[in-house]
Amino acid sequence: MNLKGKHILVTAGPTHEPIDPVRVIANRSSGRQGFAIANAAAEAGAVVTLVAGPVALEVSDNIDRTDVETAEQMADAVMTSLPADAAILVAAVADWRVEPSPVKLKKSAGPPKLKWLPNRDILAELAASPKRPKLVVGFAAETDSVIENAIAKQITKGADWIVANDVSGDVMGGHRNRIHLVTGGGVEHWPEMDKEEVAHRLIERIAKELQ
């Protein structure tokens, strides 16, 4: 596989949406799959931009890494990283945020009343951008109807491919993954493998598509 001269944009990890100066809304994403994909793209010769949520992972020195916390920050970092030949949006971005309190919420005051607001849809925004990459790949972490939900996401978000996986077990935070690749040509069912193996196989598919 050869991605020499190609710019690959990858997002990875969770986002943290603040509730107050102490607490955040988060999820169980470890960032391992996204970081493995970024490393595999760099090994294939690509110029790689990695936009990473708050995770304690290292990445190759030749990767341009931007660390963010919130979905809004991640969306801004993705859009300012364009143009790119391919975007692989692996990050588990929070769908919702709240208006954060400027001071710590006290337990003695009882359960807080939180005003929920939708976050930007980075995948849909990128797919509709005038600077849209040639290949836009989204991830779908599902707990039921995995294939059906992934196909629906591909259509509604305007993505070229969706990488779907069942996260009802220990995938989020674990070292192995079993994915289903939804493309315009159908659905590919990949066997369970290490996340590094998933990354190399996906980058190999992307390299073929870009050529």
Query: Among all residues, which ones are annotated catalytic?
Result: 27
Beta-bridge partners for 87: 9, 136
What are residue 196's phi and psi, to 5 degrees?
-65, -40
Q: What's the full length of the chain, in residues? A: 211
Q: Is 5 left (phi over 0), alpha (psi -120 to 50) or beta?
A: left
User: Are the C-beta atoms of 195 and 177 separated by less than 8 Å?
Assistant: yes
Query: Which residue in 7, 13, 99, 91 sits closest to 57, CA to CA?
Result: 13
> Euclidean distance between the first and final Cα of the chain, in Å?
10
The angle subtended at Cα 203 by Cα 201 and Cα 206, nearest 5°, is: 115
Distance CA 51, CA 103 (A): 29
Question: Which helix H or strand E contains 39, and what residues bound it?
Answer: helix 32-43
